[in-house]
Amino acid sequence: MTAPVRLYHYWRSSSAWRVRWALAIKGLAFESTIVDLAAGEQLGAEQRARNPIAHVPTLEIDGLTLSESVAIIEYLEDTRPTPALYPSGAGPRARARQVVELINSGIQPLQNLTVLRQHSGDPAGQKAWAAHFNQRGMMALEATLVQLGAHFPSGPFALGDRLTVADLYLVPQVYSARRFGVDLTPYPRVLAAEAAALASPHAASALPENQPGAPRS
Ligand SMILES: N[C@@H](CCC(=O)N[C@@H](CS)C(=O)NCC(=O)O)C(=O)O
């Protein structure tokens, strides 16, 4: 019997959201272990043994224990290529990775709990820091999507007429930007991509509010 796919995640983790969404698109059911970031569970020995930097997500699949959403999603794409999350062709794939890394390296790490706490002990100071880097990131994301639009069939998604990995990174980051109070009205291309991606099949099951441990409104 094959071991179940297991995801170590947290409802509000934007990086875990990307992976939940990819799993849903690839049609992979998974079992959940919640690592409560607010309670500091990521810092405990168990999550550190899975991922020494003490972050979520971690995915157990096919006998592997994988961390880092890029590595996980590329593994899923390599082993379960349909439906594809990356466009085909070296150039379009590089452009998809450009959007992924803009978010994964250029924005999200700066809002991590560890970074916010290192920056300031004051919640208002932490929020201002995260808002600054999200606003700067959204500006870059808007300009990038406009530039890249010339290279893809026109459409509302991050890379044009179909949902790609770029959307799986964009939507959780827009959610974070909103949470930190960033005004998103100057970024219409980003907002159009978010709306299209959220309306796509499989988006709902990955949403933060639909995860175990999320506050019930
Ligand atoms: N580049 C990593 C980022 C992982 C990451 O930063 N996870 C955050 C939640 S989104 C985390 O676990 N933070 C815990 C902390 O800062 O203590 C990925 O894509 O998986």
Q: What is the pLDDT of residue 211?
A: 96
The 10 Å Cβ neighbour count of residue 214 is 14
CA dihedral 94, 30, 48, 213 (to 10 degrees): 110
Does the structure show a pLDDT above 90 at 217? Answer: no
CA angle 195, 198, 105 (to 5 degrees): 90
> Are 105 and 66 contained in the same domain?
no
Residue range of the domain that includes 191: 90-198
Domain-embedded: residue 184: yes
Q: What percent of the chain has pLDDT over 90?
A: 98
**Residue with the larger pLDDT of the pair 159 and 2:** 159
Query: Does one domain contain both 64 and 42?
Result: yes
Q: What is the CATH number of the domain that holds 159?
A: 1.20.1050.10
The arithmetic mean of pLDDT across residues 110-117, rounded, is 97
Position 211 in a domain: no
**What's the rounded Cα separation, in Å, for the pair 150 and 145?**
9
> Does 60 lie in the same domain as 12?
yes
State whether the beta carbon of 56 lies less than 6 angstroms from ligand 1.
Answer: yes
Ligand 1 pocket residue status of 173, Cβ below 6 Å: no
- Grouping H, G, I as helix, E, B as strand and the rest as coil, residue 6 is strand
CB atoms within 10 A of CB 50: 20
pLDDT higher than threshold 70 for residue 56: yes
Let me know whether 32 and 123 are in one domain: no
Q: Same domain for 65 and 146? A: no
Q: Which of 30, 61, 83 is the last residue of a domain?
A: 83
CATH classification of the domain holding 58: 3.40.30.10
Name the closest-CA residue to atom 5, ligand 1. Answer: 55
What does 112-150 look like in DSSP terms, one character per residue?
Answer: -HHHHHHH-SSHHHHHHHHHHHHHHHHHHHHHHHHHHHT
Q: Report the domain count for the chain.
A: 2
- Ligand 1 pocket, residue 42 CB under 6 Å: yes
Residue 75 and residue 105 in one domain: no
The answer on 151 and 54 residing in a single domain is no
> Mutation test of ligand 1: which of 8, 47, 56, 171 has the most ligand atoms closer than 8 Å to its C-beta?
56
Site to probe by mutation for ligand 1, drawn from 7, 74, 108, 114 as the one with most ligand atoms within 8 Å of Cβ, is 108
Work out the average pLDDT over 159-177: 98
Q: Which residue, by CA, sits nearest to atom 12 of ligand 1?
A: 55
What is the predicted pLDDT for the residue at 1?
63
Tell me what percent of the residues of the chain surpass a pLDDT of 70: 99
CA nearest 110: which of 182, 212, 165? 182
Residue 17: pLDDT band (50, 70, 90) is very high
Q: Which structure tokens are listed for 83?
A: 């439906």
58 close to ligand 1 (CB < 6 Angstrom): no
Residues 104-124 have a mean pLDDT of 97
pLDDT at 216 over 90: no
* Helical (H) or strand (E) element with 34: strand 31-34
Pocket test for ligand 1, best of 7, 8, 12, 15 (most atoms within 8 A of CB): 15
Mean pLDDT over each residue of the chain, to the nearest integer: 97
- pLDDT tens digits, 117-143: 999 999 999 999 999 999 999 999 999
